[in-house]
A and B are shown apart, each in its own frame.
Chain A
């Protein structure tokens, strides 16, 4: 009886019921949407870190990381490289010779990290090739070629074909200088890194560093992101004397960002839920106050408080459960679309997004892992908000209600 009344009551004021239902739907959609956007952004950020910056895992001589002194090479590096490439789950591994130094042009100078790469290998572990926006890749014939980032090129007024001088210390501690010609300019989605990293041929750099065919860094790219920790442990066991770090340690700010954003997304959820709660409280309160006389009459006739409570509860439950599938459907459609086509956030400023290392095209993911949590929060909010109007209905004094 009570639930039949609740059901019919919902249809008394269709507009109002639709508004509550939509509030629940929109609350759910907003919650899922925020989660999926943040998930998408974080996935994009992590992808960028792995693909453009660090790879999954890097190996160094423990001494190297202190000052980036090139004399701390990886002992027996080429052997290791071959071994690592044959480990199961490893997609590829490449070697980099690294030193830090000064890049100078007639108009100025800048501190840079010089990466000596074997082009074909590098292209398999990072997206350097895809990021080139001007000029050409390394030419086999030319030795002293360099690829620099766009930000640095703009700052130093460099472009392909122009010359510059790199100055750094070699493995013996002597200062060396050499002139390079800009072969290409690249642009990634992480501006600060573009400004700092320049690429030259490994052979050329090794000659200047006097380190033969040794190098300072091995970058490992895995088949599967989720294997990172496992493979890191495995490598550490194989090569206990090396410092072996995953992208989480190499880019701690990314790991931190992922965690922080997770918390933020819940704060935003709470704000959305507060809005939803006020909407429901307000509407259900109106529904109760409007029926003061009717509820008073029911109490006068002998309807006990439990039944009145359930009457209001059922009305809220019906509206909430009607809104939930609608919200899920909207979320699904929205996320599916932007999962395929990507959500273009360049409106927020490409510059800004890149400064934080995000791509501007975010591919949304349906946050299945967080769905239960979001559902629980939305439905919980709706049911908690119902308590206030329900208590109001319970407090009605029949004699007073009937006089109105």
Chain B
């Protein structure tokens, strides 16, 4: 491949440093290249969400540098960070992804709207993505009228609509049944392949892990393994 998208160096994050410190991320180095489809796994409390938040610029590390696409985001002001996220990063959260008062289509084009994309551009892109996620008939539904799987698919469409450098997804399938989960993974994998969009997602789910091309394991805030092969022994021990 080639282009480096994420380059994290010696990253540390401590919660409550003054009372009972929690070393959520401990000396993490991470290097992700364009086009990757990588899973971040680890037991609950191992720091997956924290690491994704740091990479996504939602939180600041206590130590270390995080370089995204050549920009050290730890040096950006809060306002610059918001702008940076808008232009470079797609997000899919575990739950409550969509804005309830907007329709599926409006939610999907939300980022494009914030970026000031023209109506024709938006319509074309959203139409294409809704075909991909097989929800052309749900364009005008409100989130409350959609199933959990459909909502997550809209969230993926939104994350991809503006063609970001990469997409961060924190347990995107955690609230889905296995059929919806596998369907969402199909869509993510296909878009990764077709549009060359880099995905970094955290998960607990064995079936989701199996779909990843690279699996990074986090335990107690440290990366304990980083491999294209899934280490089934560790996983069985962690998931139970």
Contact = CB atoms under 8 A, between A and B. Distances in A.
Interface residues of B, number: 26
A56 interface: no
B18 to A, nearest CB: 17
Nearest to B53: A399
Interface stretch (A153-161, A241-249, A290-298): A290-298
A141 interface: no
A297 B93 contact: yes
Contacts of A274: none
A297 B82 contact: no
A219 interface: no
B93 A294 contact: no
Nearest to A303: B114
Most buried by B among A9, A293, A304, A403: A304
Nearest to B101: A8
A98 to B, nearest CB: 77
Contact of B91 (A8, A12, A301, A307): A301
Contacts of B100: 12, 294
A146 B92 CA distance: 97
B110 interface: yes
Nearest to B85: A302
A158 B216 CA distance: 109
Nearest to B102: A5
Most buried by B among A12, A293, A294, A302: A302
25 contacts: A1-B113, A5-B101, A5-B102, A8-B101, A8-B102, A294-B96, A294-B100, A297-B96, A297-B99, A298-B99, A299-B82, A300-B56, A300-B93, A301-B86, A301-B110, A301-B111, A301-B158, A302-B82, A302-B85, A303-B82, A304-B86, A397-B59, A398-B58, A399-B59, A402-B58
Given A297-B96, A300-B56, 14 more contacts: A1-B114, A5-B99, A9-B101, A12-B100, A294-B96, A297-B93, A298-B99, A300-B85, A301-B158, A302-B82, A302-B85, A303-B114, A304-B86, A402-B58
Interface of B: 49, 53, 56, 58-59, 79, 82-83, 85-87, 89, 91, 93, 96-97, 99-102, 106, 110-111, 113-114, 158
